[in-house]
Amino acid sequence: MYVSSNTVVTLTIDVFYYLLIFALLLWYTYWRLSRKHLLELAAKLPGPKGWPIIGNALDFTGTSPGMKQNKLMFFFL
């Protein structure tokens, strides 16, 4: 049975990607477990919940500075 070199390259790349995904999942699991106490402490901080990447930036769009200050005082007091 003859296998073309193109098929071998495709199989090698497939195996590489499967191993890469597996390694990334292992790393993420380790990262989450090793920083579990920090994540628990961060969840206890007062204030509004933020979005990933942009944080709380959307809370401050389209309002006057006085309204922003009142909004911050509401969340932190």
Closest CA to 76 of 55, 47, 52: 47
Same structural domain for residues 62 and 25? Answer: no
Q: Alpha-carbon dihedral of residues 38, 40, 46, 47, nearest 10 degrees?
A: 90
- What tens digit of pLDDT does each residue of 63-76 get? 566 777 777 777 77
Over its C-alpha atoms, the chain yields an Rg (Å, rounded) of 24
- pTM summary value: 0.50
Same structural domain for residues 38 and 61? Answer: no
Distance CA 61, CA 68 (A): 9
Domain tally, the chain: 2
- What tens digit of pLDDT does each residue of 26-44 get? 999 999 999 999 989 988 8
Same structural domain for residues 33 and 60? Answer: no
Q: Residue 37's domain spans which residues?
A: 1-45
Helical ranges in the chain per DSSP H? 5-34, 36-43, 65-76
